[in-house]
Amino acid sequence: MALDSKVPKGPLKDKWTTYKDHINLVNPANKRHIDIIVVGTGLAGGSAAATLAELGYNVKAFCYQDSPRRAHSIAAQGGINAAKNYQGDGDSTYRLFYDTVKGGDYRSREANVYRLAEVSANIIDQCVAQGVPFARDYGGLLDNRSFGGVLVSRTFYAKGQTGQQLLLGAYSAMNRQIARGKIQMYNRHEMLDVVKIDGKARGIIARDLITGKIERHSAHAVVIASGGYGNVYFLSTNAMGSNATAAWKIHKKGAFFANPCYTQIHPTCIPRSGDYQSKLTLMSESLRNDGRIWVPKNMDDVLAIREGRKKPTDLSEDERDYYLERRYPAFGNLVPRDVASRAAKERCDAGYGVNATGEAVYLDFASAIERYGKEQAKIHNIDNPSKEKITELGEAIVEAKYGNLFQMYEKIVDENPYKTPMMIYPATHYTMGGVWVDYNLMTTVDGLYCIGEANFSDHGANRLGASALMQGLADGYFVLPYTIGDYLSNDIRTGKIPTDTKEFDEAEKDVTDRINFFVNNNGTKSVDHFHKRLGKVMWDKVGMSRNEQGLKEAMAEIKAIREEFWKDVKVPGNANEMNPELEKAGRVADFLELGELFAKDALHRNESCGGHFREESVELEGEQKGEAKRKDDEFAYVAAWEYKGEPADAVLHKEELEFKDIELKQRSYK
């Protein structure tokens, strides 16, 4: 089967407009005879459900949480990009498009990214109209900040809770439709399979997480908006419940899975403190604007710090290794996420990690505090300020900029980051890979759509800050509602899809059998036991840097863990009640398959691009020696995997990427 991206013909900047002008529409009277299922209620799913219901379709929305408002989009801190050019600093649709493609290391589809940049401005208008309280300046107009990897200020924000506010905006739009009866909301429900009839997605099997009841839901189209698969690492910045089950189930039913190896490891997270750790907390990237990252130069000092004999503040400047400034003099502490993460890992692997686990580096604000303090002293005409006065003035500025983050750090770590450097370490944050979709956001299964982080489409091999929120809302508010109409225009005479057919019978039986297996399997080890083991293999061998041998070992080890899991997993409780362990078991079973495909994809992609770093593919000489080396002649394609039983047997399909409007360049931060 050849992959058809269905990108419309014509010049890049006219594609979306021309497309919209020529698609088939469904008339309002017919829309009310059409049902759509949306799985997941984050920015993508929530906005899609609300918009489709506004248009007149009957929407059934599903989320595993107790309310749509709790989807993990809520945790995004920094902001949302939009090419509004309110600051007059030269921003444009083209520039946002260009930055996104370049930031993604030239592994995304041009037409999708351009469309994303094109609708970005509308997102801000829409959200403001909904009452999202974006930050404003004293003139009452919207404020912007700038984010890593770009040269303009185009990021809109609502304090450090932009994701929350945007999600609550989408949730409010959903509420309006729920009140109108156009959305039927299924909270605490988990989709456990998709039902295909005559090759088309026609419904899902879901479990009511309160009663354990297995339910059949039919529809004319199914939209998956279930987020990323970062929890395959066990430890990540994802929510505890974030899972890949919906995406993986549709993969098993024929949807290709694209570029699973593209994962973003965020450099500034709070380090792990022990084996009991359940999740990692992200600290906004903005901290790197003022913090300097270092580890001790001498191993003696490392040991002394670990044993508590020395404090980081005891070390003189000469005894510190500001390794980012040393290796990347041009960008210093502001290198992109993937570069900063790998550099931290390199130092810690070499034994210079500064906490008990050996996996932490310092993020130091002392210089910033001193610099701001001196500046303030000048502004306030204080001659010969004392060291204490400078510190006091400087800390006030740092507090104004990062107060809430410092407070969060102190709550978790119980150390005062104004007085002693913060400890940070990279953590899995976002997955660029996901279900393959065409320009219409439809998967390789007819009538089955995938939007938001769950699909692979817009970020290539690396995502820029503040672009995830943009993509989720673009897909849900402005793209899917058009593209799905084109497909559904053929379904106006279909009528209600019955759920008493053999396809539903079979799908339900598979789901029930699996659940019964879990609760009846008298194993000896908990679900988390297996999840942690999977996570360790993924982190050690399929983490920030990967090599052939490690990836091969990872595939074998994951397979072994999976086999052991199916023999020895222990799930207490029953199927017909609320059973969190049973929920986890199903999710981990899917991660155990996805992890292997992930490693396989990483193994096949013998190049370094974005979040995927192969130790075999580095620049061997010149200024860039040791840095990631992309191989555009061999790997400028999307790797879409077709399910064939075992993950190791997945078949590769390639969607060649063409760059007509952008010249491919090496990223350099030296």
Partner 1 sequence: MNLTLKIWRQKSASDKGKMVDYKVTDISEHMSFLEMMDVLNEQLIAEGHEPVAFDHDCREGICGMCSMYINGEAHGPDRGVTTCQLHMRMFKDGDTITIEPFRATAFPVIKDLVVDRTAFDRIQHAGGYVSVNTSGNTQDANAIPISKHAADEAMDAATCIGCGACVATCKNSSAMLFVGAKVSQYALLPQGQVEAADRVQNMVAQMDLEGFGNCTNTGACEIECPKGISLENIARMNRELMKASIK
Q: State which of positions 315-354 bind partner 1 (CB under 8 A).
A: none
Rounded to whole angstroms, the Cα distance separating 464 from 251 reads 27
Q: Give dist(CA 258, CA 653) in Å, integer.
A: 9
Write down the least CB distance from residue 493 to partner 1, Å: 27
- Residues 197, 501 contacting (CB under 8 angstroms): yes
Q: Where are the alpha helices (DSSP H) in 56-109?
A: 93-103
Interstrand relation of 200-208 and 189-197 (parallel, antiparallel or unpaired): antiparallel
588 in Cβ contact with 248 (< 8 Å): no
Q: How far is the CB of 597 from partner 1 (least distance, A)?
A: 26
CA distances from 319 to 20, 113, 295 (A): 61, 46, 9
Residue with tokens 């959903």: 174
Strand arrangement of the beta sheet that strand 221-224 belongs to: 183-186, 58-62, 35-39, 221-224, 448-450
Among 367, 499, 512, 526, binds partner 1 (CB under 8 A): 526
Select from 174-182, 254-262, 295-303, 633-641 the region that touches partner 1 (CB under 8 A). Answer: 174-182
What secondary structure letter does DSSP report for 143?
P
Which window, 50-58, 252-260, 372-380, 445-453, contacts partner 1 (CB under 8 A)? 50-58
Question: Does 444 engage in binding with partner 1 (CB under 8 A)?
Answer: no
**For residue 479, what are its two tokens?**
């793209």
Q: 118: number of CA atoms within 13 Å, CB side?
A: 15
What is the pattern of x (binds partner 1, CB under 8 A) and - over residues 52-91? Answer: --x----------xxxxxxxx-xx--------x-x-----
Could you say which of 388, 414, 623, 633 contacts partner 1 (CB under 8 A)? 414
Least CB distance to partner 1 at residue 227 (A)? 12
| CB of 572 vs partner 1, minimal distance in Å | 5
Stretch that binds partner 1, among 122-130, 441-449, 462-470, 661-669 (CB under 8 A): 122-130
Give the footprint of partner 1 on residues 380-409 (CB under 8 A). 408
Comparison of 84 and 337: residue with beta carbon closer to partner 1: 84
520 lines the binding site for partner 1 (CB under 8 A): no
Check if the beta carbon of residue 401 is closer than 8 Å to that of residue 407: no
Helix (H) or strand (E) holding 394: helix 387-413
Residues β-bridged to residue 97: none
CA distance 517 to 646: 19
Q: How far apart are CA 485 and CA 555, in angstroms?
A: 41
Q: Is 506 helix (H, G, I), strand (E, B) or coil?
A: helix
Of the residues 47, 146, 243, 471, which one makes contact with partner 1 according to CB under 8 A: 47
Distance CA 364, CA 82 (A): 32
Taking the least distance from each CB to partner 1, the nearer of 410 and 553 is 410
d(CA 14, CA 19): 8
577 binds partner 1 (CB under 8 A): yes
Within 10 A of 574 (CB to CB), how many other CB atoms are there? Answer: 12
295 SS3 class: strand
Q: Which listed residue (23, 25, 197, 578) binds partner 1 by CB under 8 A?
A: 578
171 vs 669 by CB, closer to partner 1:
171
**What is the bridge-based pairing of β-strands 637-642 and 257-258?**
antiparallel
Residue 29 vs 141, nearer CB to partner 1: 141
From the list 261, 338, 339, 342, the residue with the least C-alpha distance to 604 is: 261
Q: Looking at beta carbons only, is 294 or 406 nearer to partner 1?
A: 406
Nearest distance from residue 339's CB to partner 1, in Å? 25
- Contact between 171 and partner 1 by CB under 8 A: the answer reads yes
**CA 37, CA 117: separation in Å to the nearest integer?**
27
Near partner 1 by CB under 8 A: residue from 30, 92, 153, 172 = 172
Residue keyed to tokens 């900047």 = 13
Is residue 204 within a helix (H) or strand (E), and if so which, with residue range?
strand 200-208
Nearest residue (CB) to partner 1, 74 versus 225: 74
CB nearer to partner 1: give 294 or 409: 409
The secondary structure element, H or E, covering residue 534 is: helix 527-541
Distance in Å, CB of 540 to partner 1, minimum: 22
Minimum distance between the CB of residue 315 and partner 1, rounded to whole angstroms?
Answer: 24
User: DSSP secondary structure string, 612-626?
Assistant: B-BTTSB--SSTTTT
Instruction: Identify the residue among 392, 510, 581, 661 touching partner 1 (CB under 8 A).
Output: 581
Site for partner 1 in 224-243 (CB under 8 A): 237, 239-241
Q: CB of residue 394 vs partner 1: minimum separation in angstroms?
A: 25
Among 184, 281, 298, 521, binds partner 1 (CB under 8 A): 281
5 vs 238 by CB, closer to partner 1: 238
Residue of 657, 655, 641 lying closest to 604 (CA atoms): 641
Is position 210 an interface residue for partner 1 (rule: CB under 8 A)? yes
For residue 42 the two structure tokens come to: 């984050």
Region of 513 (left: φ > 0; alpha: ψ -120 to 50; beta: rest) is alpha
**What is the smallest separation between the CB atom of 503 and partner 1, expressed in angstroms?**
32
Which residues, 6 or more positions from 472, have their beta carbon under 8 angstroms from its beta carbon? 42, 43, 44, 47, 73, 225, 451, 452, 453
Least separation in angstroms between residue 580's CB and partner 1 is 6
173 and 130 Cβ atoms separated by less than 8 Å:
yes
Q: What is the C-alpha separation between 234 and 219, in angstroms, rounded?
A: 33
Among 173, 335, 369, 454, binds partner 1 (CB under 8 A): 173
Q: Which of 86, 418 has the CB closer to partner 1?
A: 86
CB of 4 to partner 1, least distance (A): 27
Among 273, 489, 490, 624, binds partner 1 (CB under 8 A): 273
C-beta closer to partner 1: residue 188 or 514: 188
What is the pattern of x (binds partner 1, CB under 8 A) and - over residues 124-163?
xxxxxxxx-xxxxxxxxxx---------------xx-x--
**Secondary structure class of 66 (helix, strand, coil):** coil
| Pairwise CA distance, residues 31 & 53, whole Å | 9
Count, residues near partner 1 per rule CB under 8 A: 82
Residues in 481-510 at the binding interface with partner 1, rule: CB under 8 A? 481
Nearer to partner 1, 93 or 443 (CB): 93
Residue numbers 419-438 binding partner 1 by CB under 8 A: none
Q: Which stretch binds partner 1 (CB under 8 A): 170-178, 296-304, 499-507, 544-552?
A: 170-178
Using the minimum distance from each CB to partner 1, give the nearer residue, 517 or 659.
517
Query: What part of residues 589-648 is at the interface with partner 1 (CB under 8 A)?
Result: none
If the CB atoms of residues 319 and 528 are measured against partner 1, the closer one turns out to be: 528
Q: Looking at 32-40, 551-559, 566-574, 620-628, which segment touches partner 1 (CB under 8 A)?
A: 566-574
Of 13, 33, 176, 371, the one binding partner 1 by CB under 8 A? 176
Beta-bridge partners for 640: 258, 653
Interface region with partner 1, contact rule CB under 8 A, candidates 255-263, 271-279, 357-365, 647-655: 271-279
